Amino acid sequence: MNVVVSYDVSEDKRRTKIHNILKSYGQWVQYSIFECELTDTQYAKLRSRLNKLIKSDTDSIRFYFLCACCHGKIERIGGQQPRDHTIFFA
Amino acid sequence: MGTLYVSQADSFIGKVDERIHVKFEKKTIIDVAFIKLDGVVVLGRSTVSPAVVSELMNRHIPLSFIDERGHYLGRLQPEMSGNIFVRKAQWQAAGNTPQSVHIVQGFVRGKLKNYRQLLVRRQRESDHLDLAADITRLENIISAIDKTESIDSLRGLEGAGSAVYFGCFNRLIINPNFEFTKRVRRPPTDPVNSLLSFGYSLLRHDVQSAVNIVGFDPFLGYLHFDRYNRPSLVLDLMEEFRPLVVDALVLTLLNKQFLKPDDFISEPLSNAVSLTAEGRKIFLTNYEKKKQSEFKHPVMGKKCTYRESFELQARLLAKYLMGTTDKYPPLFIR
């Protein structure tokens, strides 16, 4: 599934932690916004990890699901293009 | 899902959160999530942290090592699949049984038919290439396969077919900067041979993964003799893919001039030729593209990539050995 995750966290330390977790699941596209392509299990794991971390009275995280046909209609102006996931070089 | 190639020598491969983090001289050079990976290949010398090793094994991602010259060193394999029935069937068919004869016929037929097809295609593409005699010789060998019941004679046919094919391989290379005289291995002493060897090493990494996923014992083959530490089954199953994946790729890279003579370096004493870092990058990117390219699988009747077809062929072989199907169909693309 394709998920857009956005978060609003006031405390710097916790925001960095959230950012760091999200980097393991998807691509950072804008400040506080990630695009992730996940299986059900991966989504469940991500959700539970974030859930444990945030303080629900001050922070918020949103997951927007994109269906396959909407995912193809994303328009991007500027910024980073989606990363190619078939090969990585170091 | 992708493969991570680490070719930066003396880099450090560590784990941060759920990601692989490759560092060189204290600077991060790449950062990839484990969920995006299905294979890690380390070229040359690098440090792999214990945390990465255990995470890769837990996630069933194989870790292969290839030396700077592209020679396969070995791999860390997650626990072998528990399919004892496949292995039992594999062992029962060993030796001179009707099944192993059928399988060897399949491997040899697949390989030679793909050789023939490659020649036919090149012939069609250029007018001043005359391969008719070689194609006829290959066809004669192919037609003899089904009548040959002894594995040793089948090995002979395979050798004869390869000799015909490599005999005219030089004529398939249009780029005047490169020349192929004969197949040289360990070490390859000219650029073309070095590309072929490097390609076969990579292919072996992929086919071995497929063989392990399906649950075979990689060391018991039918076409290749048993030898200490030789994964004969992997080499067997590789045969039909050699022309399809590696040879076709090498020809494209040379003929379309993706690779230039400057992309190769030669060692002074052994004359071993290998790719430079830049050349290796070009080769690996295109190898990966080739594996992702789609074609219609003649048996399954649907589209699949070469990467998927490695596993598909291994599964078809398992089905035949277990008696679910009565034939092993080698992958042959028209």
Quote the CA–CA distance of B93 and B216 in Å, as a whole number.
13
Nearest beta carbon to residue A90 from set B8, B16, B36: B8
User: Which ipTM value was assigned to this complex?
Assistant: 0.83
Distance CA B264, CA B7 (A): 16
**Element spanning B170, H or E:** helix B169-172
Among A residues 12-41, those touching chain B with beta carbons less than 8 Å apart: 20-21, 23-26, 38
How far is residue B194's CA from residue B169's CA, in Å, rounded to a whole number?
A: 14
d(CA A62, CA A36): 13
Structure tokens at B123: 């012939």
Query: Between B82 and B65, whose confidence is greater?
Result: B65
Best of B18, B45, B60 to disrupt the A interface (most A CBs within 10 Å) is B18
Residue B71 has pLDDT above 70, yes or no: no
Residues B39, B43, B45: CA angle, nearest 5 degrees: 120
Q: Is the CB of A42 inside 8 Å of chain B's CB atoms?
A: yes
B296 burial via Cβ count (<10 Å: 0-12, 13-18, 19+): exposed
Is A69 near chain B, with CB under 8 Å?
A: no
Strands B19-24 and B27-33: antiparallel
Q: What is the DSSP letter of B187?
A: S
Task: Look at B32 and A88 and tell me if their CB atoms are within 8 Å.
Answer: yes
Residue B184 has pLDDT above 80, yes or no: no
pLDDT at B188: 78
Is A89's Cβ below 8 Å from some Cβ in B?
Answer: yes
Taking residues B194-202, report their average pLDDT.
86
Is 70 exceeded by the pLDDT of residue A86?
Answer: no
Mean pLDDT of chain B: 82
CA distance B120 to A22: 51
CB B274 within 8 A of CB B287: no
Q: Which two tokens stand for residue B88?
A: 């039992």
d(CA B152, CA B164): 19
Phi–psi pair at A60, nearest 5 degrees = -145, 145
Length of chain A: 90
Please name the CATH architecture into which domain B84-321 falls.
Up-down Bundle (1.20)
Query: Chain B residue closest to A21 (CA)?
Result: B17
| pLDDT exceeds 90 at position A21 | yes
Is B308 one of the annotated binding-site residues?
no
* H-run or E-run covering B181: none
pLDDT of residue B77 exceeding 90, the answer is: no
Q: What is the pLDDT of residue B261?
A: 79
The rounded Cα B200 to chain-centroid distance in angstroms is 4
Q: Round to whole Å and give the CA distance between B256 and B262.
A: 15
- Kindly report which listed range (A48-57, B191-200, B257-266) carries the lowest average pLDDT score: B257-266
Cβ count near B80 (within 10 Å): 13
d(CA B323, CA B300) in angstroms, rounded, equals: 18
CATH superfamily for domain B2-61: CRISPR-associated endonuclease Cas1, N-terminal domain (3.100.10.20)
Roughly what angle, to the nearest 10 degrees, separates helices B248-255 and B191-214?
150
Please report where in the chains the tokens 């590696």 appear, as a residue: B246
CA dist list (Å): B12 to A90, B8, B35, B280: 10, 9, 20, 20
pLDDT in tens, B272-296: 777 777 888 888 888 888 887 888 8
In this chain, the answer to whether the domains covering B2-61 and B84-321 adopt an identical fold is no
Could you give the CA distance from residue A24 to residue A43 in angstroms, rounded to a whole number?
12
What integer pLDDT is reported at residue B229 of this predicted model?
66
Cis peptide before B261 (omega within 30 of 0): no
pLDDT of residue B81: 59
| Kind plus residue range of the DSSP H or E element containing B20 | strand B19-24
In Å, how far from its chain's centre is CA A72?
Answer: 18
Angle at B296 between CA B290 and CA B299, to 5 degrees: 120
Domain boundaries, chain B: 2-61, 84-321
- Position B278 scores a pLDDT of 80
B80 has pLDDT over 70: no
> Does residue B268 have a cis bond before it (omega within 30 degrees)?
no
Q: Which pLDDT belongs to residue A14?
A: 92
For residue B307, what is the nearest residue in chain A, using CA coordinates? A86
> What is the rounded distance in angstroms from the CA atom of residue A31 to the CA atom of residue A8?
10
Q: Which of A25, A26, A89 sits opposite B5 (nearest CB)?
A: A89
Per-residue pLDDT at A52 exceeds 80: yes
For residues A34-53, average pLDDT: 92
pLDDT bracket for residue B55 (50, 70, 90): very high
Give the distance from residue A25's alpha carbon to the nearest chain B alpha carbon, in angstroms.
6
Token pair of B329 as six digits: 């169909």
- pLDDT band, residue A45 (cuts 50/70/90): very high
Closest chain A residue by Cα to residue B288: A87
Task: Please give the structure tokens belonging to residue B238.
Answer: 């590789």
